[in-house]
């Protein structure tokens, strides 16, 4: 199965990517409910290190049990930037835009809760669990990349 990803490599270009490959790189919920909309490499000039920002937008598919005749998409919540495992030695940041739907009559808002985002953390749950197990490495890793999480 293929999905298409918009890459910014000087100009926009759509690239077909194998969903099975993506599922090996990213949390499964991201692949199931989101589309990659943008991938860009940046340079942290202070550290002289490149890092990746991969943007995901939640698909406009209502959660199970809700009807499209009763609910309408009301766009996205504020995006959240979380850190995932490095790829090819580069820090990776996922910019995640979660969708919300509103009931047409009552105004009730529906959104999904995703387990891949660690509660109260700016890391994916998998990276957070890894860093907790790594002990002292976790503090050094967080200090080294915390400015990038804030988009500085």
Q: Is 97 exposed, middle or buried (0-12, 13-18, 19+ CB in 10 A)?
A: middle
pLDDT (tens digit, 9 = 90+) per residue, 34-78?
888 888 889 988 888 899 998 999 999 999 999 999 999 999 999
> Taking every pair of C-alpha atoms in the chain, what is the biggest distance, in angstroms?
53
pLDDT at residue 114, as a whole number: 80
- pLDDT tens for 89-130 read 889 999 999 999 999 999 999 998 887 776 655 777 777 776
pTM (predicted TM-score): 0.72
Please state the domain extents for the chain. Answer: 2-63+81-98+117-149
- Give the separation between CA 127 and CA 145, rounded to whole angstroms: 13
User: What is the C-alpha to C-alpha distance for residues 96 and 60, in angstroms, rounded to an integer?
Assistant: 14
Q: What pairing do the DSSP bridges indicate for beta strands 49-58 and 90-97?
A: parallel
pLDDT at 28 over 50: yes
């Amino acid at each position: 199965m293929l999905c298409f990803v918009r890459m910014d490599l000087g100009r926009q270009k759509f690239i077909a990517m194998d969903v099975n490959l993506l599922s090996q790189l990213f949390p499964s919920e991201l692949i199931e409910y989101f589309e990659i909309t943008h991938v860009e490499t940046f340079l942290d000039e202070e550290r002289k290190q490149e890092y990746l920002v991969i943007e995901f937008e939640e698909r406009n598919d209502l959660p199970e049990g809700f009807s499209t005749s009763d609910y309408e998409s009301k766009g996205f919540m504020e995006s959240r930037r979380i850190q995932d495992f490095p790829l090819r030695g580069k820090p990776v940041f996922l910019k995640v835009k979660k969708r919300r739907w509103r009931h047409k009559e009552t105004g009730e808002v529906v959104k999904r809760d995703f387990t891949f985002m660690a509660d109260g953390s700016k890391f994916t749950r998998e990276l957070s669990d890894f860093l907790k197990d790594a002990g002292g490495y976790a503090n050094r890793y967080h200090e080294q990349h915390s400015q990038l999480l804030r988009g500085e």
